[in-house]
Chains A and B, each alone.
Chain A
Amino acid sequence: DQQVKQNSPSLSVQEGRISILNCDYTNSMFDYFLWYKKYPAEGPTFLISISSIKDKNEDGRFTVFLNKSAKHLSLHIVPSQPGDSAVYFCAAPHNAGNMLTFGGGTRLMVKP
Chain B
Amino acid sequence: KAGVTQTPRYLIKTRGQQVTLSCSPISGHRSVSWYQQTPGQGLQFLFEYFSETQRNKGNFPGRFSGRQFSNSRSEMNVSTLELGDSALYLCASSLAPGRPYSYEQYFGPGTRLTVT
Contact = CB atoms under 8 A, between A and B. Distances in A.
B108 to A, nearest CB: 5
26 contacts: A32-B103, A34-B104, A36-B107, A41-B109, A41-B112, A42-B110, A43-B4, A43-B92, A43-B108, A43-B109, A44-B90, A44-B107, A45-B107, A46-B104, A49-B104, A96-B97, A97-B97, A98-B92, A98-B94, A99-B45, A99-B56, A100-B92, A100-B105, A102-B44, A103-B42, A105-B43
Contacts of A95: 56
A96 B102 CA distance: 11
Interface of A: 32, 34, 36, 41-46, 49, 89, 91, 93, 95-105
B55 interface: yes
Contacts of B90: 43-44
Contacts of A91: 43
A93 B33 CA distance: 12
B82 to A, nearest CB: 23
A49 B94 CA distance: 14
B58 interface: yes
A93 B90 CA distance: 16
